[in-house]
């Protein structure tokens, strides 16, 4: 799956208010997530998507989050909103990834059992279907009936080996991250990058500028320390 766009290190997800972006100037945030899943409390309806996307500063990558959506609809939204990445956060089969050839994909994996087992199962599934695995993965905590944004955390100490086991894969840590715990999470899990939604919000979809700045500063410092 092609993935030649700039990599994501710090992603703020579930954004719905264009006024938020101006407050992030000078921060270490490098990507914005827009939620196109109608079942989410951070859902962006079709009539608002383009306006919010166009308000995102040029320096920030645009990521569209989809849950069990048809490939045609994903492509249409990607074109309309100028998406840099599409994030598949549902139970999409490998055939959906294959149908999105040409679009950089972030494959979200909700870890039912151990993260290691969940990632291995993803690679086995795609290999059996003859579909190249996504180059960027997002690991999130699993809760029955929920598709992310639950505030649940993963066992960070069980994630450190992922980067060594799959050195060609960029993986993002999600699930219950906040300005207060992100540095510890990075130190233990050793991810390529991090993703946050509820941990920096004033209300669903509306980010608190001070929280975003604290989160991005602490995440950036921890990621830089890790890469030395």
Catalytic residues: 13, 140
For residues 46 and 37, the answer to whether their CB atoms sit within 8 Å is no
Tokens representing 23 are 């407050």
Angle at 220 between CA 218 and CA 225, to 5 degrees: 95
- Residue recorded with tokens 């139970």: 91
- Which residues neighbour 217 within 8 Å (Cβ) at sequence distance 6 or greater? 27, 28
Q: Which phi and psi angles does 78 have, rounded to 5°? A: -65, -40
d(CA 46, CA 225): 40
d(CA 34, CA 60): 12
Tokens representing 40 are 């989410």
Q: Which phi and psi angles does 9 have, rounded to 5°? A: -110, -40
Tokens representing 33 are 């997530």
- Which residues neighbour 52 within 8 Å (Cβ) at sequence distance 6 or greater? 15, 16, 17, 18, 34, 44
Residue 189: alpha-carbon gap to chain centroid: 16
């Amino acid at each position: 799956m092609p993935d030649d766009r700039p990599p994501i290190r710090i992603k703020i997800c579930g954004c719905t208010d264009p006024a938020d972006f101006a407050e992030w100037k000078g921060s270490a945030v490098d990507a914005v997530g827009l939620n196109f899943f109608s079942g989410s409390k951070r859902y962006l309806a079709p009539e608002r998507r383009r306006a919010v996307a166009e308000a995102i500063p040029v320096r920030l990558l645009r990521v569209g989050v989809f849950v069990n959506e048809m490939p045609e609809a994903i492509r249409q939204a990607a074109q309309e909103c100028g998406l840099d990445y599409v994030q598949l956060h549902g139970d999409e089969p490998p055939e959906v990834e294959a149908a999105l050839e040409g679009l950089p994909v972030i494959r979200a994996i909700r870890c039912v059992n151990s993260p290691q087992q969940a990632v291995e199962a993803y690679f086995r599934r795609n290999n059996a279907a003859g579909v190249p695995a996504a180059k960027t993965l997002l690991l999130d905590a699993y809760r029955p009936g929920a598709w992310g944004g639950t505030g649940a955390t993963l066992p960070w100490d069980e994630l450190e080996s992922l980067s060594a086991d799959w050195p060609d894969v960029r993986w993002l840590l999600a699930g219950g991250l906040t300005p207060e715990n992100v540095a510890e999470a990075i130190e233990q899990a050793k991810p390529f990058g991090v993703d946050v939604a509820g941990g920096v919000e004033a209300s669903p979809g509306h980010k608190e500028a001070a929280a975003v700045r604290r989160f991005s500063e602490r995440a950036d410092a921890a990621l830089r320390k890790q890469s030395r």
